[in-house]
Chains A and B, each alone.
Chain A
Amino acid sequence: MAMKEIVVGTAISKAAGRKKGSLRIGTLPDGSPMEIPVVIVRGSKPGPVLWLHGCVHGNEYCGTFIIHEMLSRLRPAALTGTVVALPALNITAFQKGQRMSPFEGFAGGDLNRNFPGDATGTLTQQMAYAIYKPLKRHATHLVDFHTAMTEDVAWALYADVGGKTGKESEKMARAFGYRSTLPAPPTILGGSALMTAAKDGIPAMIVECGGKGPAFTQEAMRDGADRLENILRALGMVKGAVVDHGKLNYFSNFAWVHATKGGLFQRSVRCGDRIEPGSVLGQYYDLHGRPNGEALAPKGGIVLAIHPGPMIGSGETLIHIGLDPREV
């Protein structure tokens, strides 16, 4: 029986096996195409289409490496369904080691706030449009890889949109099994691939793993790939017993806290630490090295991300706190 064709740019999958190609998502100012890598690994039996993408924010490299590691482990003969992988979405930002495309002009250019995109919008909106079209057509599940600033970042979000989509999203998050997990209410993260997909009925989760730029470890990358493989088991795509990661800490929401003071900064908490309102988060120093005040937590919860210093300016993200942790 002929399988349904999966087409993502020049990667065209019609039967079991591995196909690679590239998807054009824009045009560069010199007229050359802006293209991103696509790999499709298709099993011999029909099943879910698990869509993996990374580097929506260009310098969050750990996800790219987790996806690559996952791809190297997949054998079409032992796979049910299909994995579609786009490991480097925001390719020009990826090249420059920055969050947003250097070619984006006026629109801010946060790709994770611009889904489902706009065919006639700004660069980042057009990129989102080109990516979301095949995602919506083919994906039955989505895992989107992000990270924050330091190597100890390890948490996840799933689309808590209720119904079958919400349940299936939670199943993925539990199979991934990071202890810190946010069931993300549909009121937040508008324009993210996560919420856009979930509202179109595609179960979705975000993994926050590693640390941006070179700030991730091989251990975090391998652990991320192991956990991702567990999602494939939970979805019945590869054989083997699903690892039970036990109870997770669910949050009600998160709080972004911006620095209202700049200077030399040394953190005193790590990701995953429990904090209370007023907990010391780190120490400021002036240019002469004299202590210049402490940064205090405005709210209690679990540290999801913390600024590593050594210098911080006003308005930079100081800390990201998971609120109201409860074991579920």
Chain B
Amino acid sequence: MATIEIGSAVSRAGVRVDGMLKVADLPDGQPMQIPVTIVQGPADGPVLWLHGCVHGNEYCGAYIIQAFLRGLDPQALRGTVVALPFLNLTASQRNQRMSPFEGYNVGDLNRCFPGKADGGLTDQIGHVVWTHLKRHATHLVDFHTALTADTHWSLVAGHAGKVREHGLAMARAFGYSPCLPTPTDMLAGSAMMAAGAAGIPALIIEAGGIGPAFTPETVREGADRLRNVARQVGVLAEKVVDHGRLTLVSSFAWCKSAHGGLFKPAVRCGQPVKKGGVIGTFFDTHGEKVADERAPATGVVLAINPGPLLPQGDILVHIGLEPRLETAATE
């Protein structure tokens, strides 16, 4: 069985090992390190790579990964689980999306893969993580979320053939619907699309809600669903739970607010919306109604801004387009 070495974590068959991976230097010269856990079974098999907090304040995924790891018996694995629950750790420490040490390059880590060894800070972090991911991973699950606790959907790398096919099988095993099989011209620089282009089936789970806006139920349930993905890819020799067919969307529309002010949403995640339908209302600071905001497209709500205050141009709603139920769970 091949040894997997990621930073100070060096795999050993039949046990769980924890270590740290240096991804960059901090301004005081200390290492910027992120946690790595490798759980390797006694038998050969796939390498399921899990990571979270690519966006620092999307904590729910880190909690799901950790709850899943606590439930794993290393002796029962076929193959390996590699977990990096906090990729963008300095952003997580500050409860923000991007690293506070990033300067000029905006620093969205999920637009920086496969990274660049001599790029900006976030490019360099992307490069370090990607080097290991590409060498070892046979499957990737990347955890993200949007604003509210009811965020529940998924994306898979849509690269034709095995990548799309296996990605959708993983998405079905996780069982969040809707799901976007992501066209290859979308989300460039995401770990998911970089993995897909390198032939690694990849799934993004959007679960929970940013900051503390997630529930213990989502974590518990997410860990169960993740275990089902481990069964599906063959890391665990257990029967895969059938969550039914996915609702596939063809793409998504980000809607930015045309107004600023106090916002009260009128829709929830998972709800269908029609183009022109009211998705929420703006009020001024005196408490008087300013205007209704309307859906720019027909589809299903993937994310909604809970308010209570929004500047003009903030993301108001994220709509999955052309939702349709899979004809069979084999598409």
Cβ B309 vs Cβ A289 within 8 A:
no
Cβ B212 vs Cβ A287 within 8 A:
no
What 0/1 pattern do residues 259 to 294 of B give for CB contact below 8 A with A?
A: 000100000000000000000000111110000000
Cβ B283 vs Cβ A214 within 8 A:
no
**Residue from B63, B92, B213, B287 in contact with A67 in the complex, judged by beta carbons closer than 8 Å:** B287
User: Do A285 and B212 contact each other (CB < 8 Å), given the known contacts A61-B308, A68-B283, A214-B306?
Assistant: no
- Kindly list chain B residues whose C-beta atoms are within 8 Å of the C-beta of A310: 59, 62-63, 211-212, 214
A86 CB, min distance to chain B CBs, angstroms:
10
Residues B121-164 near A (CB distance < 8 A):
147-148
Chain B: interface size category = 35 or more
Q: Interface size on A (CB < 8 Å)?
A: 37
Q: Does B296 contact A (CB under 8 A)?
A: no
Instruction: Please name the residue on chain A nearest to B16 by beta carbon.
Output: A288
Q: Does B239 contact A (CB under 8 A)?
A: no
Cβ B285 vs Cβ A37 within 8 A:
yes
Interface-located stretch among A87-95, A137-145, A195-203, A293-301: A87-95
Cβ A97 vs Cβ B67 within 8 A:
no
Which of B93, B147, B262, B286: most chain A Cβ within 10 A? B286
Q: Does B66 contact A (CB under 8 A)?
A: yes
Q: Does A254 contact B (CB under 8 A)?
A: no
Cβ B308 vs Cβ A266 within 8 A:
no
**Residue from A37, A213, A285 in contact with B286 in the complex, judged by beta carbons closer than 8 Å:** A37
B7 CB, min distance to chain A CBs, angstroms:
12
Residues A58-74 near B (CB distance < 8 A):
61, 64-65, 67-69, 71-72
Instruction: Please name the residue on chain A nearest to B305 by beta carbon.
Output: A214
Cβ B309 vs Cβ A61 within 8 A:
yes
- Kindly list chain B residues whose C-beta atoms are within 8 Å of the C-beta of A7: none
Q: Does B14 contact A (CB under 8 A)?
A: no
Residues A301-326 near B (CB distance < 8 A):
308-311, 313
Q: Which A residues fall within an 8 A CB radius of B?
A: 20, 36-37, 39, 61, 64-65, 67-69, 71-72, 87-88, 91, 94-95, 97, 149-150, 213-216, 264, 266, 285-290, 308-311, 313
A-B contact list, 19 entries, CB within 8 Å? A37-B284, A39-B286, A61-B308, A68-B262, A68-B283, A68-B287, A88-B285, A94-B309, A214-B307, A215-B212, A215-B213, A216-B308, A289-B67, A289-B85, A290-B18, A310-B59, A311-B92, A311-B93, A313-B93
